[in-house]
Amino acid sequence: EPAPLPATSALPVAEATSAPTPATPAGAGTAAADDGSLSKKGRALTLELEGGSDEEARRAKERERDEMKAKMEARMQARQRKRAAEMEAKAKARAEAAKARKAKAAARAEAAARAKEEERARLAAEAAAAAEASAAMGSPADAKGKEERLGQHWGEVEFLLRKPVTSAADVAATLAAATDGVAFLDRLQETATRLGTMQGTLSRWLLPYDDNTSTMDQANHSHSAAAAAARERGGPGGVDFASLLDAAEVEDMVRAATSLRSLVRVKIADDADLAQARIAAGEVLRFFTALTAHAEEVGEAPFAVLSRL
**Tell me: the pLDDT tens digits for 223-256?**
455 545 554 555 555 567 777 888 888 888 899 9
Residue 289 belongs to domain spanning = 137-308
256 burial (CB, 10 Å; 0-12 / 13-18 / 19+) is buried
Identify whether 214 is part of a domain: yes
Identify whether 13 is part of a domain: no
Q: Are 258 and 219 in contact (CB under 8 A)?
A: yes
Q: Please, how many CA atoms are within 13 Å of residue 309, restricted to the half-sphere of its CB?
A: 27
Q: Are 278 and 182 in contact (CB under 8 A)?
A: yes
> Which of 175, 179, 239, 162 lies closest to 204, judged by CA?
239
Cα gap 44→49, rounded to integer Å: 9
Handedness of CA 47, 49, 51, 57 (dihedral sign): negative
Identify whether 143 is part of a domain: yes
Strand partners, 14: none
Identify whether 79 is part of a domain: no
Identify whether 126 is part of a domain: no
Whole-number pLDDT of residue 30: 53
For 223, residues 6+ apart whose C-beta sits below 8 A from its C-beta are 251, 254, 255, 257, 258, 259
Pick out the chain residues at pLDDT < 50. 1, 8-19, 137-138, 210-223, 227, 231
Identify whether 25 is part of a domain: no
Domain count of the chain? 1
Strand partners, 161: 264
For 232, residues 6+ apart whose C-beta sits below 8 A from its C-beta are 242
Cα gap 252→223, rounded to integer Å: 8
Whole-number pLDDT of residue 242: 74
Whole-number pLDDT of residue 260: 92
Whole-number pLDDT of residue 44: 58
Identify whether 85 is part of a domain: no
For 237, residues 6+ apart whose C-beta sits below 8 A from its C-beta are 197, 201
Identify whether 301 is part of a domain: yes
